[in-house]
A = this chain, B = another copy of it.
């Protein structure tokens, strides 16, 4: 529905309070969308519950009225998983933002769904600990949303995804009941681990209202290497050599074209003179002098083998940070070419062949398109960016990219890869889900959703259609 009836507004206000039901156009636009700009936000209203009980009451009301709800966190999603585009009621978790019950022995802390990632990172630091899941939207993304999308980021090869830091979570199901899953236990083999099912379910099984998050030991100073390689195969050799001997914290890559754009537009210096086809960026934690010596020894080995042409190693934290900018500034830099983006993965060792095939298909059909590659190569996750030629009208570019999508996903399928490595499916990737998941898998997902949400009101139409 486009507007709530006065009766429903009154019922909602009775639950959450008078000022917590918003139906002005600004609020609808603000709370009804995410970082994607494809679908126009059009919720019927927005509610801001202040407690888990209020979330339950709102959901029970919605179930009775057969009113679809969309949970809303930091709204930084990139797959339109949190977009309310057809009259849904938005339940924004912003007010469930308290951090409590810090336990230094468990190294765990209880977070409301609305706690902002950076808030948790800062809290951890104040306790002499570390929350290691980090990504560009940490300043506004919320823990509930991170869990619902199993957010990844730049330290996944060392610290894993959000999934790996959730010791317990509370979920309000589609019937308004509360599930308290795993309660912070490290070991619990008593029945199916339903918590794992909820992580990454994008709000389709219910609303994550609270979580017990684990924290890590604080890392020592990071050391960063940027290595120039003649080809992708060499990047893989470098990865293998380093991972066999060191606990890398990051292993990223970017192409020469990506570097060129960043150097030109961000006023950064090239890491070294000689341009090479691809660059690998490695980070490790320096726990003693021995780590630095080992890193240098492996570097020399890679040079001898011809896998590395040139390289640089940071001598200070500041230098490590400035080397990171070569990789982290890419996304912002290429935004001016309104790139067509895809967040895809294969198994790590197949990446070189996969990249070559995608390039050849896209270049063959559209020789005027520039392709910028970068990503988390250590975990097989690459970001494909096709830049719009300046002369090409936007609409025509979009239309041609539609064709590119199909070709890319067909290649993803042949490589057994994922159409969404870390951004989730939402609305944006729904039509492509079958390239990564079988009909049987999608059917099982539907039946599982029905068990958690018999009325089908929890973020319907996301991931798959009912």
Closest chain B residue, CB of each to CB of A444: B451
Chain B residues in 8 Å Cβ range of A164? 164
Please measure, in the bound complex, the distance between the C-alpha atom of A191 and the C-alpha atom of B199, giving whole angstroms.
Answer: 10
A421, B188: Cβ atoms closer than 8 Å = yes
The one of B187, B416, B441, B452 that contacts A152, using a Cβ cutoff of 8 Å: B187
The reply to whether A244 and B184 form a contact with Cβ atoms under 8 Å apart is no
- Nearest Cβ on chain B to A259's Cβ, whole angstroms: 24
Is A258 positioned at the interface, with any CB of B under 8 Å from its CB?
A: no
Tell me the smallest distance from the CB of A250 to a CB of chain B, in Å: 13
The 8 A CB mask of A208-247 against B (1 = contact, 0 = none) is: 0000000001000000000000000000100110011111
Are B348 and A106 in contact (CB-based, < 8 A)?
yes
Taken together, the copies of this chain in the complex come to 2
Query: Does the CB pair B187–A161 fall under 8 Å?
Result: yes
The listed residue (B290, B348, B376, B436) touching A190 by CB distance below 8 A is B436
Task: Tell whether A349 pairs with B191 under 8 Å between CB atoms, given A197-B196, A440-B179.
Answer: no
- B199 in contact with A193 (CB, 8 Å): yes
Complex formed: what's the CA distance from A245 to B130 in Å?
Answer: 12
Since A149-B189, A192-B197, A287-B291 are in contact, a sample of 9 more A-B pairs with Cβ atoms closer than 8 Å, ordered by chain A residue number, is A108-B347, A179-B444, A186-B380, A186-B381, A188-B345, A190-B429, A197-B197, A448-B448, A451-B451
Query: With the chains together, A463 CA to B192 CA distance in Å?
Result: 9
The closest CB in chain B to the CB of A429 belongs to B190
Residues of B within 8 A of A437 (CB): 190-191
**Once the chains bind, are A464 and B191 in contact (CB under 8 Å)?**
yes
Name the residue in A188, A345, A349, A463 with the highest tally of chain B Cβ atoms < 10 Å from its Cβ.
A188
Q: Which residues of B contact A201 (CB under 8 A)?
A: 192
B186 touches A348 (CB 8 A): yes
Query: Which residues of the partner chain B approach A429 to less than 8 Å between Cβ atoms?
Result: 190
CA distance A189 to B381 in the complex (A): 11
Q: Which B residues touch A190, using CB under 8 A?
A: 418-420, 424-425, 429, 433, 436-437
Chain B contacts of A288 at CB under 8 A? 287-291
User: A419 vs B164: C-alpha distance in the bound complex, in angstroms?
Assistant: 22
Knowing A217-B245, A243-B107, say if A189 contacts B348 (CB, 8 Å): no
* Interface flags, A442-466, vs B, CB<8A=1, else 0: 1011011011100000000001100
Known contacts A187-B380, A247-B217, A381-B187, A348 near B105 by CB under 8 Å:
yes
Q: Whose C-beta in chain B lies nearest to the C-beta of A423?
A: B189
| Contacting residues, chain B, for A185 (C-beta < 8 A) | 345-347, 380, 416-418, 421
Q: Complex Cα distance A380/B185, Å?
A: 7
Interchain CA distance A162-B52 in the complex, whole Å:
33
* A217 and B243 in contact, given A185-B347, A190-B436, A424-B189 (Cβ under 8 angstroms): yes
State in angstroms the CA–CA spacing of A433 and B190 once bound together. 7
Contacts A/B (CB < 8 Å), 13 sampled: A181-B441, A185-B380, A185-B418, A187-B380, A188-B345, A188-B420, A190-B418, A190-B424, A191-B200, A191-B437, A196-B197, A447-B448, A447-B451
Task: Specify which chain B residues have a CB less than 8 angstroms from the CB of A157 in the assembled complex.
Answer: 186
Closest to A182 in B: B418
**Most B CB within 10 A of own CB, among A106, A150, A192, A381:** A192
Residues of B within 8 A of A239 (CB): 105
A189 to B177, CA, bound (A): 26
> Could you tell me the distance between the alpha carbons of A444 and B199 in the complex, rounded to whole angstroms?
16
Tell me whether A183 and B347 are in contact (CB under 8 A): yes
Tell me the complex Cα distance, A448–B164, Å: 23
Chain B residue with minimal CB distance to A235? B105
State the CA gap A104–B242 with chains docked (Å). 12
**How far is it, in angstroms, between the C-alpha of A424 and the C-alpha of B188 when the chains are bound?**
8
Complex: A242 Cα to B324 Cα, angstroms = 31
